[in-house]
Structure 1
Amino acid sequence: MSDPFAGAASGLSGPATRHFAISPSDSVDLAVRPRALVFQTDGDAVLRDEAGTDVTYGRYAGDVLPIRAVRVLATGTTATLVGWI
């Protein structure tokens, strides 16, 4: 398949080029830090930022949350998430 944008730099405002399933954990940081999180199902996601602050976000399926979370905690997270990079 031809990709006319193959040589273009991809900044944080551009589209993601890869995605991965998120496995929430209370003890392990994400292996790859995403540029955004996509909610696959309605529910809550408890996210930790780089300062160690945990915040719960309630969203609907299809919502994109543009945060570069360090960890998605298992305790309190009810949504299924995908990371975009």
Structure 2
Amino acid sequence: MADIFESYTTGLESPATHLVAVVPSDTTDLDQASRALNTATSGTVQITTVSGTIATVFVNAGTTFPVRATRIWQTGTTATNIVAMY
């Protein structure tokens, strides 16, 4: 399959090129900081951002929530089937 965009530089405004299922953990960081998150069910997601801020945010199911997260916490997270996009 041809990819007419393969020679373009990927930036933060570009569509995600990798999708990784997230298992929330109170002790383990993501392998790579996210560009955004998506959830299958609406709910709260406790995150640590690349700046080190820890916050609990509400994410609507099926929407892209732009955030540079390094950890998705099990504690404080009620949303399910979380996908990190980068």
Q: Same fold (TM over 0.5)?
A: yes
Deviations 1:32-74 (A, max 9, x none): 2111111221111001123432111112211211111111100
Give the equivalent residue in structure 1 for 2:62. 62
Q: Does 1:9 align with 2:9?
A: yes
Identity %: 41
1:21-60 correspondence to structure 2 within 5 Å: 21-60=21-60
Runs of 4+, deviation exceeding 3 Å? none
TM-score (norm 2): 0.90
RMSD of aligned C-alpha atoms? 1.1
How far apart in 2 are the matches of 1:16 and 1:50? 18
Contact 2:41 2:61 in 1 (8 A): yes
Give the equivalent residue in structure 1 for 2:71. 71
TM-score (norm 1): 0.91
How far apart in 1 are the matches of 2:59 and 2:16? 20
Structure 1: 5+ residue stretches without partners? none
Structure 2: 5+ residue stretches without partners? none
Aligned AA (2:8): A
